[in-house]
Amino acid sequence: MTKVMMNTAQVRPLVEVRDAARWFDVSAPRLERVLSRKPRTMLRAVDGVSFSIRRGETLALVGESGCGKSTIARLLVGLYPLTRGSIMFDGQPLSDMDGPDGLALRKRLQMIFQDPYASLNPRWRVGRIVAEPMLAHTSMTKPQRDERVDALLAQVGLHPTDRDRYPHQFSGGQRQRISIARALAVNPEFLVCDEPTSALDVSVQAQVLNIMKDLQRSLGLTYLFISHNLAVVHHVADRVGVMYLGRIVEIADRDSLFEHPQHPYTRMLLSAIPDMTGAGARRTPVAGEVPNPLNPPSGCTFHPRCPFARELCKTESPIMVATGENQVACHGIAQGWPMKVEISAAVL
Ligand code: SF4
């Protein structure tokens, strides 16, 4: 029996997201709304997203600004409640975070934020910043916490004496290392990384990404990696989900997605990134504007920008189907429409 349960735990994904939605009420104040007889206005930041993350892997979510990827990051660490759907962590509903065992669950998932300048308390020394999660989640003594802080600083390439300095005395890359040390303080299994390198110089980005990869290997961590930068995603991800206006439109293993992108939006994003070797200049910019999420297009929300759109695309939202290695939400791909034309700003 024990053996069967262990196998089940090992096989099931660490994170399972099913039909997750998060809407925000952005209506005018009630009195104004009643007087002007306007209905409530809901921003559907995430609207029906499903994916899973296996233990030890990195799933990256990419998409243009406002596509909902940062909202998913916050849903996964319990910073926002779900409007609809479910999120399971190691077989346990994330909503349990609000229950009596919530602290134990919270300890297992931590987040690294985009801006290491804003996410570190400028009035605290580094030692206190890194030790703070231990105070909240463990009963470690002061000497035990001090010892752990030294070990964590060493793990992210800082010196134990750095514990006595303040965040403003460090460079951007060093501050993000401090953020990583703080996130690791309570031995989490899952890290949600929301654009962790986008505020850093390009030369520093690779160092931080390599530290994260090394830590993943040595500690068996699982990552959800949020980024708008496909070159960074190519460097870190095992699988990639492409988001557009609150939904995932394509998800696949990294190599399948980069070598055989199928959804027209994925193809457009890939046509806009610099050469993967870094030698080439930026190719075509992403064409068209992301529609207003308060008034999204009907049917497939990508249809105003899609060169392959037909009448069906304007009325019916496509569902996710498996095509080869990829899962894609597109009528044209599901029905075999001719879609060979190279996608770039020239055809859009
Ligand atoms: Fe383009 Fe239609 Fe596919 Fe949407 S469903 S991506 S509009 S072909």
Looking at the DSSP bridge assignments, the partners of residue 318 are none
Q: Which of 266, 267, 298, 303 to mutate to test the pocket of ligand 1 (most atoms within 8 A of CB)?
A: 303
Q: Determine if ligand 1 sits within 6 Å of the CB of residue 332.
A: yes
Biggest alpha carbon–alpha carbon distance for the chain: 68
Q: Is 339 within 8 Å of 323 (Cβ atoms)?
A: no
> What local confidence, expressed as pLDDT, does residue 2 receive?
44
Tell me which residue has tokens 């055989």: 260
Q: Which amino acid is at 24?
A: F
Tell me which residue has tokens 């990827």: 69
In the chain, what are the domains? 2-237 (3.40.50.300), 265-348 (no CATH)
For ligand 1, atom 3: residue with the closest CA: 330
> What local confidence, expressed as pLDDT, does residue 103 receive?
83
For ligand 1, atom 6: residue with the closest CA: 330
Low-confidence stretches of the chain (pLDDT beneath 50): 1-4, 277-282, 345-348
pLDDT tens digits for range 173-230: 999 999 999 999 999 999 999 999 988 888 899 999 999 999 999 999 999 999 999 9
> What local confidence, expressed as pLDDT, does residue 104 receive?
86
Q: Which of 244, 247, 330 to mutate to test the pocket of ligand 1 (most atoms within 8 A of CB)?
A: 330
> What local confidence, expressed as pLDDT, does residue 3 receive?
47
Token couple for 42: 């809901």
In ligand 1, which atom is closest to the CA atom of 339? 8
> What local confidence, expressed as pLDDT, does residue 283 receive?
52
Measured between alpha carbons, how far is 27 from 73 in angstroms, rounded to an integer?
24
Measured between alpha carbons, how far is 332 from 267 in angstroms, rounded to an integer?
14
> What local confidence, expressed as pLDDT, does residue 344 receive?
55
Q: Determine if ligand 1 sits within 6 Å of the CB of residue 245.
A: no
> What local confidence, expressed as pLDDT, does residue 143 receive?
96
> What local confidence, expressed as pLDDT, does residue 34 receive?
79
Q: Is 178 within 8 Å of 113 (Cβ atoms)?
A: no
Q: Which of 308, 326, 339 to mutate to test the pocket of ligand 1 (most atoms within 8 A of CB)?
A: 308
SS3 assignment for the chain: CHHHHHHHHHHCCCEEEEEEEEEEECCCCHHHHHHHCCCCCEEEEEEEEEEEECCCCEEEEECCCCCCHHHHHHHHCCCCCCCEEEEEECCEEHHHHHCCCHHHHHHHEEEECCCCCCCCCCCCCHHHHHHHHHHHHCCCCHHHHHHHHHHHHHHCCCCHHHHHCCHHHCCHHHHHHHHHHHHHCCCCCEEEEECCCCCCCHHHHHHHHHHHHHHHHHHCCEEEEEECCHHHHHHHCCEEEEEECCEEEEEEEHHHHHHCCCCHHHHHHHHCCCCCCCCCCCCCCCCCCCCCCCCCCCCCCCHHHCCCCCHHHHHCCCCEEEECCEEEECHHHHHCCCCCCCCCCCCC
> What local confidence, expressed as pLDDT, does residue 282 receive?
47
Q: Determine if ligand 1 sits within 6 Å of the CB of residue 270.
A: no
> What local confidence, expressed as pLDDT, does residue 342 receive?
65
Q: Determine if ligand 1 sits within 6 Å of the CB of residue 249.
A: no
> What local confidence, expressed as pLDDT, does residue 117 receive?
78
